[in-house]
Amino acid sequence: MIATRQQRLGNFAGLGLVLVAWVLYAVYASPTQGWTFFLQLTVNGIILGSIYALIALGYSMVYGILKLLNFAHGDVYMIGSFIGFGVLSVLGGALSPAIPVVLLVLCMFAVAMIGSGVLGLVIERFAYRPLRNAPRIAPLISALGVAFFLENSALLLFGAQYRNYDGYDLISFNGIHIGGPTGVFVSYLGVIVISSSVALMVALVALVRWTRFGKAMRAVSFDREAAAMMGIDPDRVIATTFFVGSALAGAAGVMFGLVYSQIYHLIGFIAGLKGFTAAVVGGIGSIPGAMLGGLLVGMTESWAKGYLNGNVADLVVFGILIGFMLIRPTGLLGTPALQKV
Amino acid sequence: MLKKLGAVAVVAAAISVAVSTTAWGSAKGPDRVSAAAAAKVTCGKVRTIGVAAPLTGPAASIGVEQLHWAKYWAARWNRKHKSARIKIVSGDTQLGVDTAFAVKVAHSFASNSKVLAVVGPAGSQEVVASTSAYKGGSLGFISGSATRISLTDGHTDGNRIGYFYRTVPNDGVQAPRVANYMIKTLKWKRVYIIDDQETYSQGLADGVQAILKKNGVTVTRDSISQQASDFSSVIAKIPANTQGVYIPWQLAPQAQAFGQQLKAAGKSHVTLFGSDGLFSPDWKIAGSYDSFFPVSPSNATVLAYVKAHNGNGEYFGSPSYVAAQVDTLAITKACTLGHGKTTRAAVRKQIAKMKLKSSILGFPVSFSRGGDLHSPATFGIYQIQKDGTFKPVG
Amino acid sequence: MAEATPPPSAPSATQIGVDSWVTESDERRLHRAGAWGAVLRGWERLPPPGKLALVTPAIAVPFIPIVSSGNLFNYGIFILLYALLGLGLNVVVGFAGLLDLGYVAFFGFGAYTFAFLSGTHHEKGHVFTHHWPAELSIPVAIVLCGVLGLFLGSTSRRLLGDYLAIVTLFFGEAFVVFTNSADPYGVTNGSNGLANIDPLKFYAFGQHLTIASVRGYYWFLLGCVIVVLVVLHFMSESRTGRAWKASREDPLAAELMGIPVNRLKITAFIFGAGIAGLAGTVFAAAQTGAFPQNFSTQVLILIYAVVILGGVGSLTGMLVGAAVIIASNQVLDSTSPPNLQRVLFYAALIIGFALMFRSSWRKLAVVAASTVALGFAAHAIASAAWPRGVHGSVTSGGFLTGAIKHWVLLPTNPGRIADYVYVLVIVLAVSLTQLKGWWRVALAPFVFVFTAFLWENLLIQQPAVTRYVLFGALLIVLMAIRPQGLFGTARVEIA
């Protein structure tokens, strides 16, 4: 986990190159559409990216500690968005909320986070813990099974029809134009999403850096056996990690519902892949990396949708992942791991 | 190693020769699918019609309406014809999830020798995709909502003359109606058109775009996948002075999400204009316009339906009622002519000859050679009210 | 299956690649007394081609005379198709030990290539009309798939284990996205798919030979499966096959022994891709179309379920896995008769419980008796206290109607109750796996009764979704209990 000075310089150089390339591209493309368009896309991308970042954190933490790709993570996020929708419907729906809106939104977040967190705990306990010492192919297939199970359970329980949060009817105050009526528009809902995402990430960093649990988590991810010998219960630490990561995914699910309005049982899979890409771009296992990766992936997707074509955007994101995997599997902020033989 | 590979090659060659001979032999033998197609079916007291509609998935709201109306027809018919009852079997095409489901449904109808005629499928792309399966089973299929023009021209998207019919006017009627309403009534000068990349949507968008352009309206064309849920980038492209966005889509929940995200982008002053596929309670952005099949709400049968369904008109399904009606009458006629036995081909022949003097849609029904209505009434224009209902405005 | 069996004299000898439990279980199996033991011993002595010769017709033949073409299409063709896909995936996952999650893309690529080469399509104003004969377009499709496999396989030079899994998964997703909406030239016709495809037309020996019937496709596929089986059997026994297994068990050691590990990995990818491509061409022709979602993750999971259940690395297993998975997949399709689905569901449930208590006849009897009693008791209590709870109707019940009516609670309007019971059943089933001894016996009847309630009130209305839930659960359970599947050999990874 300790990077040498040279590696860090290399990381920043890589990051700088990527940013410069993107800005150059934007400059190249902007005369046809204008700078406002570019900035608007960037704002949209940051909103999208802060959702991806929250998903990426869960992936990254779990990979960091277990070296396990939790394919089911995207579906935990989907369940989170359905829990949020359930709370919204029980409390009167977007058009006639039964309690003050601020309280309602807080309720949605709280219930969704706790619900998905518990779901994460259950998944870890029953699908992954029995396979802790199995060949590495086994938990991957088990994870695929969990993802499939969750997706279709949601289909069974909630039906295949799309649900609409109608978040803009809920939060009726609108947003602000920056730079005149034709300038960049930032909706208040977007501001809420970005700021709550940042708040959650700050809380997570604090948790990992300054609490006993954080210390234990870092110790387990560094060397599980040594940590166990020092009196840390790895099972408990791993379970808590799953809880925290899944709760973040649940929050991301509610945010997605609020901003993009429409949810259904399949939103988890692609979002999971994007979140995973974010984790890889940032450097899997690294928490600041996940945030950075989320924002980069979100902005790239938004730009690709704006300048190229809505359909190519997914391919661009997938291409970035494959490229990073082949050329720089440690991501921007990650550290290379040696394979122990 | 080489020796073994040689042995493998010899075995493989021998087996493939054997297999192709068997396949050849069986290809010449009786073919069960075409057997179902050509077989004489004893009509009996119960005749079966297949209904292919999206019963689940994002377009479920319109598919369920189609099934309800078809079943409503069957119930009315069965009350009077105890000895020639109609049974409806439904197949879920999951429009908006995947076109392959429509093909699967078509195969299952084609291989079910009891099915004599079909109502549906709903979407134009589903019609194109499942044509081979229906033709293979010699089944006639009547859609109550597929409006793409070229479905009936016999060459552009494949030839289905003599198999496919529809009980709705096509987009050759819808597109001019919509474009003229935009130009003359709404007086729009700047329109943004977004298709959803499906056969139906692209055809309609092309048609409207051409007429608008001819009349000097500034048109921008864009397109977004039916699976998309983030529209923010497309919305960012819509110029602030645009008056209307035309979205000829099939999935009402998507239109709803689009409207919500339009508000989110501070562009709620831009008016949406949809097409028949969006005529559903799932789309409730107040102030939006929508074009829709001709219906006559004052028709006695329609009123009875509304009464039986708690005041819920579910008008999207009403052409499927007529489709089921045509199927039933054709089957009955073919059964009478065949003295209690008939074939699917005979039923198709009767569909082609069908002439209804009046229908619940408010106009007579008979088909051209390609399968279009002879005397189509025009599409209605509706506006969505604050309570989510559709009010006729033209 | 090609692993050496341990010498009987030293059952406790530690063997690399085979763990001690498995070694002993083989022992136990071989020394089991009675008729069943004799059958098992006979089976063990049979050489693999003999086993296949027994198994293949046993699966293939019953379908031919008795079924209608609809059923032959749904069962026969799909079982053979997935057997073929399983065999191909088995080369990559089973022989070479590479987790390829983009496998379904090759299947799709084969189908689209065939559709493009043998069919007429109008897309975005272009017309593509090629009517190549099948003996030309099938090999071309296979070769192109192989090239694509070479391309994807070459990433395995740089990537290990789960990193390879990720890249291939994204590759598969990218294929679906590309065909669905991102193709700039309109060759794939987006989500509308390609529909006007020729049937398999051969111009062999100057004769026009068209496979147009379902039966014809069945024979053709059966031929393909047999050819592929034979080729793979010799392949797995050949130098290449042994080298694959060596590099699967320990790539580093294999490399040191002079085995070209990287080249072998790529060869495995090419082989797998070619077989998937073959399956794709037949599929496109038989379905008369190719659509993006035919090649989605759902299909990938089905193929994996076939391979995992059958047993990674076993050829026989692929046939059995395909038969079990695809037959239950099709029985639980929304178009098949509900009563058949019901019988299958209860049979699976009973087998599951029997396996759970297989060690003790006493416990099994107690569970069975108390399950029956509990159902009637619950019914009696409900009809006294909650009459609405027993007045629902049995969904298209056949001969089981009477039993269900009096044993399962059927509320007139289950709605939310059924949803809550769904969650409850999951919780109960999960706790059942955690309990031991008589506690488990005490809980089991409740699980059974609640599951029956759930099936009658919710699942039977949506069998098509239920089956995917069950397949997902199957993957999880198999991984925890028997990762080697039915016919595979257990391996212990040397960490």
Judge: C227–B4 Cβ closer than 8 Å, yes or no.
no
Q: Mind listing the domains of chain A with CATH numbers?
A: 34-327 (1.10.3470)
Give the whole-angstrom CA distance, residue B153 versus residue A341: 68
Residues of chain B neighbouring C190 (CB-CB closer than 8 A)? 197-198
Give the whole-angstrom CA distance, residue B22 versus residue A205: 68
The DSSP secondary-structure symbol of A3 reads P
Cβ contacts from A onto B, under 8 A: 99
Q: Which residue type is seen at C107?
A: F
Q: What is the pLDDT of residue C6?
A: 47
Q: Which of A118-122, A306-310, C47-51, C249-253 has the highest mean pLDDT?
A: A118-122
Contact predicate C201/C189, CB 8 Å: no
For B26, the closest of C73, C219, C226 (CB atoms) is C219
Q: Nearest CA to CA, how far is C215 from chain A (Å)? A: 33
| Residues of C (348-387) whose Cβ lies below 8 Å from A | none
| Residues of C (100-129) whose Cβ lies below 8 Å from A | 101
Question: CATH for B41-169+297-363, among 3.40.50.620, 3.40.640.10, 1.20.120.140, 3.40.50.2300?
Answer: 3.40.50.2300
For C182, the closest of A269, A311, A341 (CB atoms) is A311
Residues of chain B neighbouring C181 (CB-CB closer than 8 A)? 197, 225, 227
Residues of chain A neighbouring B264 (CB-CB closer than 8 A)? 167-168, 175, 187, 189-190, 259
For A126, the closest of C97, C161, C430 (CB atoms) is C430
- Give the residue on C whose Cα is nearest the Cα of B3: C238
State the DSSP H helix or E strand holding residue C173, giving kind and residue range, or none if neither.
Answer: helix C161-177
Measure the CA angle with vertex C435, ends C433 and C439; round to 5°.
Answer: 130
Residues of chain C neighbouring B227 (CB-CB closer than 8 A)? 180-181, 191
Q: What is the pLDDT of residue B178?
A: 93
Q: What is the largest CA-CA distance in chain A?
A: 63
Closest CA to C405 of C379, C384, C425, C381: C379
Q: What is the pLDDT of residue B367?
A: 93
Greater pLDDT, A119 or A189: A119
- Give the residue on B whose Cα is nearest the Cα of C69: B32
| Residues of C (170-199) whose Cβ lies below 8 Å from A | 170-171, 173-174, 177-178, 180-182
State pLDDT tens for residues C237-273: 888 888 988 888 888 888 888 888 889 999 999 999 9
Judge: A160–B57 Cβ closer than 8 Å, yes or no.
yes
A34: its two tokens: 């204008």
Is the pLDDT confidence value at C5 over 50?
Answer: no
> pLDDT (tens digit, 0 to 9) for every residue of chain B, 394 residues total?
444 444 444 444 444 444 444 444 343 333 334 455 667 788 888 899 999 999 887 788 888 889 999 999 999 999 999 888 999 988 888 887 778 888 888 988 888 888 999 998 999 889 988 998 898 889 999 999 998 888 888 877 778 999 999 999 888 889 999 999 999 999 999 999 999 888 888 889 999 999 999 999 999 998 888 888 889 888 988 888 899 999 999 888 889 999 988 888 888 889 999 998 898 888 989 999 999 988 888 888 888 888 888 777 788 899 999 999 999 999 999 999 988 889 999 999 999 999 998 888 888 899 998 899 987 778 889 999 988 888 888 7
State pLDDT tens for residues A154-167: 988 887 778 888 87
Is the pLDDT confidence value at A134 over 50?
Answer: yes
Residues of chain C neighbouring B91 (CB-CB closer than 8 A)? 335
**CB-based contacts of C174, cutoff 8 Å, min separation 6:** A314, A315, A318, A319, C105
Give the whole-angstrom CA distance, residue C76 versus residue C123: 33
- Give the residue on C whose Cα is nearest the Cα of A312: C182
Judge: B129–C239 Cβ closer than 8 Å, yes or no.
no
Give the whole-angstrom CA distance, residue B247 versus residue B225: 12
Share of chain A above pLDDT 70, in %: 88
State pLDDT tens for residues A76-115: 999 999 999 999 999 888 878 888 888 999 999 999 999 9
Residues of chain A neighbouring B225 (CB-CB closer than 8 A)? 310-311
The DSSP secondary-structure symbol of B364 reads -
Closest CA to C484 of C17, C82, C14: C17
Is the pLDDT confidence value at A239 over 90?
Answer: yes
| Residues of C (415-454) whose Cβ lies below 8 Å from A | 419, 422, 426, 430, 433
Residues of chain A neighbouring C161 (CB-CB closer than 8 A)? 136-137
- Give the residue on C whose Cα is nearest the Cα of A274: C170
Q: Which residue type is seen at B375?
A: S
State pLDDT tens for residues C405-446: 888 888 877 778 888 999 999 989 888 888 888 888 889 999
B15 to chain C, any CB pair closer than 8 A? The answer is: yes
| Residue whose entry in the numeric block shows the structure tokens 């986070």 | A113
B266: its two tokens: 């501070």
B50: its two tokens: 């297949």
Domains B41-169+297-363 and B172-292+380-392 share a fold: yes
Residues of chain A neighbouring B267 (CB-CB closer than 8 A)? 185
Contact predicate C382/C409, CB 8 Å: yes
The DSSP secondary-structure symbol of C363 reads H
Greater pLDDT, C485 or B184: B184
- Give the residue on A whose Cα is nearest the Cα of C169: A273
For A41, the closest of B229, B233, B263 (CB atoms) is B233
Confidence band for A218, pLDDT divided at 50, 70 and 90: confident
- β-strand pairing of B190-195 with B218-223: parallel
Contact predicate B317/B70, CB 8 Å: yes
Chains that touch C (3 or more CB pairs under 8 A): A, B
For C213, the closest of B27, B197, B198 (CB atoms) is B27
C491: its two tokens: 């391996």
Complex confidence, ipTM: 0.86
For A306, the closest of B56, B97, B236 (CB atoms) is B236
Give the whole-angstrom CA distance, residue A100 versus residue A82: 21
Contact predicate B227/B280, CB 8 Å: no
- Give the residue on A whose Cα is nearest the Cα of C307: A141
- Give the residue on B whose Cα is nearest the Cα of A303: B233
Share of chain C above pLDDT 70, in %: 83
Closest CA to B342 of B330, B352, B325: B330
Indicate the SS3 state at residue C72: helix
Judge: A141–C171 Cβ closer than 8 Å, yes or no.
no
- The superfamily in CATH containing domain B172-292+380-392 is Response regulator (3.40.50.2300)
Closest CA to A264 of B210, B150, B57, B21: B57
Q: What is the pLDDT of residue B32?
A: 39
Domain extents in chain B? 41-169+297-363, 172-292+380-392
Confidence band for C144, pLDDT divided at 50, 70 and 90: very high
Residues of chain A neighbouring C160 (CB-CB closer than 8 A)? 339
Q: What is the pLDDT of residue C205?
A: 66
C483 to chain A, any CB pair closer than 8 A? The answer is: yes
Residues of chain A neighbouring B236 (CB-CB closer than 8 A)? 37, 40-41, 44, 306
Q: Is the peptide bond before C139 cis (omega within 30 degrees of 0)?
A: no
Q: What is the pLDDT of residue A278?
A: 92
Residues of chain C neighbouring A83 (CB-CB closer than 8 A)? none
Contact predicate A125/A146, CB 8 Å: no
Is the pLDDT confidence value at C481 over 70?
Answer: yes
Mean pLDDT over each residue of chain C, to the nearest integer: 81
Give the whole-angstrom CA distance, residue B118 versus residue B327: 7
Contact predicate B274/B247, CB 8 Å: yes
Q: Nearest CA to CA, how far is B389 from chain A (Å)? A: 16
**CB-based contacts of A292, cutoff 8 Å, min separation 6:** A15, A281, A282, A332, A333
For B31, the closest of C193, C213, C226 (CB atoms) is C213
Q: What is the pLDDT of residue A79?
A: 96
Q: What is the pLDDT of residue B329?
A: 94
Give the whole-angstrom CA distance, residue A281 versus residue A291: 10
C331: its two tokens: 């029985």
State pLDDT tens for residues C75-121: 888 899 999 999 999 999 988 888 899 999 999 999 999 998 988 77
Contact predicate A272/A74, CB 8 Å: yes
- Give the residue on C whose Cα is nearest the Cα of B130: C195
Greater pLDDT, A50 or B58: A50
B20 to chain C, any CB pair closer than 8 A? The answer is: yes
State pLDDT tens for residues A19-33: 677 767 666 665 566
Confidence band for A340, pLDDT divided at 50, 70 and 90: very low
- A240-244, B17-21, C220-224, C338-342: least confident range: B17-21
For B280, phi and psi rounded to 5 degrees?
-155, 150
Judge: C195–B131 Cβ closer than 8 Å, yes or no.
yes
State pLDDT tens for residues C50-76: 666 666 666 666 555 555 666 777 788
Q: What is the pLDDT of residue C236?
A: 85
Give the whole-angstrom CA distance, residue B236 versus residue B251: 22
Q: Across chain B, where does the E strand assignment appear?
A: 41-42, 46-53, 85-92, 115-119, 141-143, 164-166, 190-195, 218-223, 244-247, 271-274, 289-292, 341-342, 355-356, 365-366, 380-384, 390-392
Judge: C230–B133 Cβ closer than 8 Å, yes or no.
no
Q: What is the pLDDT of residue A294?
A: 93
